[in-house]
Amino acid sequence: MKLWDKNEPIDQLFERFTIGKDKELDVQLAYYDVLGTIGHVKMLRKIDLLTKEEEKSLLEELDLIKDEAKNGRFILDDGIEDCHSQIELQLTKKLGDVGKKVHSGRSRNDQVLTALKLFTKHNIEEIVKKAKTLFELLQEKSEENKGVLMPGYTHMQVAMPSSFGLWFGAYGESLLDDLVVFKSAYRVADKSPLGSGAGYGSSFPLDREFSAKEIGFSSLNTNVVYAQMTRGKHERIAAFALSSLAATLSKFAMDVCMYAGQDFEFLSVENAYTTGSSIMPHKHNPDGFELVRAKCNKLQALPHELNMILANLPSGYHRDLQVLKESYMPAFQTMKDCLDITIAMTANLKVSKELIDHGKYDLLFTVEEVNQLVLDGVPFRDAYKKVAESVKYGAYEAQKKVNHKHIGSIGNLANAEIKEAFEKEYSWFQLG
């Protein structure tokens, strides 16, 4: 069954090629398609294209299908093209001609787009919740280790003293910016395209605002032509949000992989989250963080991949847009998996408490020596040259125990401010 079927023979090779991975992906999309159909049915009743009895019977059947989809029991029968066809087929089998009425006033174009936007909203909400858990963990680690010094680097060279508190806190603040990007992506997806049909509206007196409210959208894509143009656009914007968060997780994973190595020994990864070697019995490899790095690097390519599919497409619907789903939909689960393992592994990271006492980090404190000379009245440039010469001729001695412990708390006073900002952005999503 196909919603567009005209009882004309279709070449099997052509059919297999054009359906692609839709059957596999549409099992995930079915739940959201049912939500859109429920709102559409209620709107059809409001404008008298359905009777009260027809609405009741349709909603009862749709609730059953929704439960199937939610609990993983929804399947596409043999010969069924997609979830949209399967849902209409099940309604028609149960309700006869009443099931055939459900498509009045909509096209598969706005039907699919509605389901995709609902899918996007739901998955952004889930990712934002997980990001909050990671943010709180990083804040906790930051406060816990704000007095534990570590080397800061520029150009991969020892630069100035930092702290594990600053390091953990930096990634917490990065998540704050990622949340802002997800907020923008959510707002774009939170506009209903339903009722735009194939991009040119309908001659039926549809109440688009009513159906939007029933489905859970905050507003409409008002112009019906533009509503169809958001197919691809809303995915691309959400992909940028995924890419932003992926960049944060990838950089954090890289830091951990590097800092957990024997050459650094800044921190250690819990053995339960490592793998071994088939030949080297001493190995404990941080494979979880390595895979997060790889998967998140791949996610950072997603906006570009979608852009290449969308390149040079004019307005209106084109079958090219179907291919977006193959990369777009699985990306959300990949991100959720990366967040889950990052949270689990980060919770068990152990930092090296006495790391800074090693002699190779003595030069970290040259800036502090310069600053102390300036405080004593020496002009900055003279102080700089004096310390530089002491380093050059081997006369420099780091005074680690004098007035340097304050470095560990630099920036940590901002943790409360960052937390307040994060909570403000998070509360916008109304996720509790």
Quickly tell me which residue has 């299908």 as its tokens: 65
Quickly tell me which residue has 């081997």 as its tokens: 394
Tokens matching residue 376: 């004593």
Residues lower than pLDDT 50 in the chain: 1, 4, 401-403, 408
> Which residue stretches of 190-323 are H helix?
208-215, 224-259, 287-300, 302-310
pLDDT at 13: 74
Q: How far apart are CA 375 and CA 297, in angstroms?
A: 46
Q: Containing H/E element for 416?
A: helix 415-428
pLDDT at 79: 79
What is the per-residue DSSP string for 120-156?
A: HHHHHHHHHHHHHHHHHHHHHHHHHTTT-EEEEEETT
Cα dihedral 414, 420, 424, 426 in deg (nearest 10): 90
Q: How far apart are CA 162 and CA 420, in angstroms?
A: 24
Q: How far apart are CA 233 and CA 225, in angstroms?
A: 13
- Antiparallel, parallel or unpaired: β 191-192 and 219-220: parallel
Distance of CA 250 to the CA centre of its chain: 13
pLDDT at 62: 98
pLDDT at 408: 47
Find the length of the chain: 432
The total of other beta-carbon atoms located within 10 Å of residue 211's CB is: 26
Distance of CA 372 to the CA centre of its chain: 45
Q: How far apart are CA 50 and CA 301, in angstroms?
A: 46
Q: How far apart are CA 386 and CA 328, in angstroms?
A: 58
Cα dihedral 412, 413, 416, 420 in deg (nearest 10): -100
The secondary structure of residue 285, as a DSSP letter, is B
Q: How far apart are CA 65 and CA 313, in angstroms?
A: 35
The secondary structure of residue 96, as a DSSP letter, is T
Q: How far apart are CA 410 and CA 147, in angstroms?
A: 9
Q: Up-side HSE of residue 262: CA atoms within 13 Å toward CB?
A: 4
pLDDT at 400: 56
Contact status, residue 371 vs residue 281, Cβ threshold 8 Å: no
pLDDT at 36: 97
Contact status, residue 90 vs residue 65, Cβ threshold 8 Å: yes
The total of other beta-carbon atoms located within 10 Å of residue 185's CB is: 22
For residues 125-163, one letter each, b for 16 or more C-beta atoms within 10 angstroms of the residue's C-beta and e for the rest, the string is ebbbebbbebbebbbebbeebbbbbbbeeeeeebebbbb
Query: Domains in the chain, start-ordered, CATH in brackets?
Result: 12-103 (1.10.275.10), 108-146+164-354+417-428 (1.20.200.10), 359-400 (no CATH)
